[in-house]
Amino acid sequence: MSEPCTNSSQEAIARLREFGYAFNEAGELRKIDVASGKPGDLPYEFKISDNPATNQEHYEQLANQIPDIVYELLEKNGLKRTYIPIGEPIERSTFVFTQPQPLAQSKKLLVLIHGSGYVLAGQWARRLIINNSLEHGTQLPYIQRAQKLGYDILVTNTNDTTRIINGKRTPIKGLDNSMSHAAYVWEHIIMPSQPESVAIVAHSFGGSVCKALAEKFTKFFKEKVFAIALTDGTVGHAPASCQKYFLDVTCNWVSSTEPLDTDLTHGDKEKNLTCVSAGHPEHEWTSSAAIESVFKFLELKHQKYLKTKQS
């Protein structure tokens, strides 16, 4: 089930303007210039009061406008919503984004899994969206690069787990946490679409989600998932049920002051997850900083996968 973009994004943009901010053409959040009514040169200012609670509340209210703006950008880039659980009323559902919609026998499918907290579909880091740019904090650069390389795409939404029903915040049926959301998407959308091959990029807690998926759907992973790229992923040890496979297809780009791709693996690579520097010391920046290296890794793994299938 899908529907066109609603006017929620326009409402969010209007709300941002009420806060005195707007995104400029470069995707940077800037204070609105009073004279021109357009985004000026001044960036977002967190401190508006001597009261820390007031500053944080202002930040949260402004940040709450980001999801709908990002959703519209996903739709402008060709992705569409699929509501889940399948068959439930929209007001009691969450959604993921895919291209095409529905997915069907993808030659290469890229699955994007964000981290925990407040980020929703299409976001890597809310702080970067607000303080730097949409380019740095959203998944759009990954989506656009994947499109150029011929991937179909699925964008998860694992933190969107509740709805307001009759004035009460209520868990979405069967999708009340990140793990159940991801498992449902895998079982009811990805696997039935019968993709030929699958790659995953997961940030932060998305690494734990990915590990849980590999444990739950081990046979599918071994047959179809040719690469798992983590950006500062919290994964710990490889799943016992598929340790050798998981270590072979996975690399974790971790926050570090070392140059991009510097090997930071602890111990024997046959027993430990391959870790390399993301080229940036801050956790939130790892996805943006490592994008070139991540896609090089995905393409090399796909070539290896095809050779193995042909032999």
Does 57 share its domain with 10?
yes
Dist. CA 166–CA 173, nearest whole Å = 15
Tens of pLDDT, residues 132-158:
999 999 999 999 999 999 999 999 999
Dist. CA 69–CA 128, nearest whole Å = 15
Q: What is the CATH number of the domain that holds 210?
A: 3.40.50
Given a cut of 50, is residue 4 above it in pLDDT? no
State the pLDDT at residue 268. 82
Find the distance separating the first CA and the last CA of the chain, reported in whole Å: 39
Does 102 share its domain with 65?
no
Select the more confidently predicted residue: 3 or 159. Answer: 159
Q: Note down the domain range covering 126.
A: 79-310
Does 202 share its domain with 103?
yes
Tens of pLDDT, residues 42-75:
999 999 999 999 999 999 999 999 999 999 999 9
* Residue with token string 């039935």: 192
What is the SS3 assignment for 139? coil
Does 64 share its domain with 91?
no
Tens of pLDDT, residues 88-138:
999 999 999 999 999 999 999 999 999 999 999 999 999 999 999 999 999
State the pLDDT at residue 6. 42
Does 242 share its domain with 95?
yes
Given a cut of 60, is residue 2 above it in pLDDT? no
CA-based Rg of the chain, rounded to a whole angstrom?
20
Q: Tell me, what DSSP letter sits at residue 111?
A: E
Does 65 share its domain with 107?
no
Does 255 share its domain with 112?
yes
Last residue of a domain, one of 46, 77, 108: 77
Q: Where residue 252 falls among pLDDT bands split at 50, 70, 90?
A: very high
Last residue of a domain, one of 77, 100, 116: 77
Does 123 share its domain with 205?
yes
Does 146 share its domain with 272?
yes
CA angle 56, 60, 62 (to 5 degrees): 115
Does 36 share its domain with 98?
no
Average pLDDT of the chain, as a whole number = 95
Alpha-helix runs per DSSP H in the chain: 8-19, 52-63, 66-76, 126-131, 134-137, 140-148, 178-185, 206-216, 218-224, 243-249, 286-289, 291-310
Does 108 share its domain with 196?
yes
For CA atoms 68, 126, 112, 86, the dihedral sign is negative
Does 123 share its domain with 69?
no
The answer to which of 200-204, 234-238, 290-294 has the lowest mean pLDDT is: 234-238
State the pLDDT at residue 7. 53
The catalytic residue positions are 204
**Percent of the chain scoring above 90 in pLDDT:** 94
Question: How many domains would you assign to the chain?
Answer: 2
Centre a 10 Å sphere on the Cβ of residue 21 and count the other Cβ atoms it contains: 22
Last residue of a domain, one of 77, 104, 134: 77
Tell me which amino acid residue 171 is: P
